[in-house]
Amino acid sequence: MQPHTTRPPAVTGPQTHSADTSDLPTGLDEQIKQYRQRRRDRHKNECLPTRSRADREAEEIVRFAVIWAPFGGPPGMETFVQFGVTGRGFVDKLRQSILQARCDPHVSRWLARVYEY
């Protein structure tokens, strides 16, 4: 005779409860809706980028130039791969980016000496 085994009760997935607010006072129901809407709006606004694509690109060019400055600037192939320009085109783009990124004046002067613009 085999021992009698009992099976555990079937486990179902997590129970989801819908927010039934029908039994709440009218004013409270409206407050909950407003709260949820404000929360959704706040989350949506937090996820939006605060800087434009052009600003981010300008900052990236300046950051790249600062990294390569101790070596006299980046090789032409590196600027071509990163930004699609070489030599003088990179220097022109850097000068525009410094203005757009509103760099510190000391950094601007240092980069001007290194990149001779």
pLDDT digits (tens, 9 = 90+) for 17-58: 555 555 555 688 888 889 888 888 877 766 555 667 788 899
Measured distance CA(47)–CA(3) in Å, rounded: 60
Residue 57 lies in a domain: yes
Residue 73 lies in a domain: yes
pLDDT single digits (tens) 49-95: 566 778 889 999 999 999 999 999 999 999 999 999 988 999 999 99
Residue 89 lies in a domain: yes
Residue 13 lies in a domain: no
Place of tokens 């699609």: 84
Give me the domain span that covers residue 90. Answer: 53-115
Residue 22 lies in a domain: no
Buried b (16+ CB within 10 A) or exposed e, 22-41: eeeeeeeeeeeeeeeeeeee
Residue 63 lies in a domain: yes
Residue 101 lies in a domain: yes
Number of structural domains (the chain) is: 1
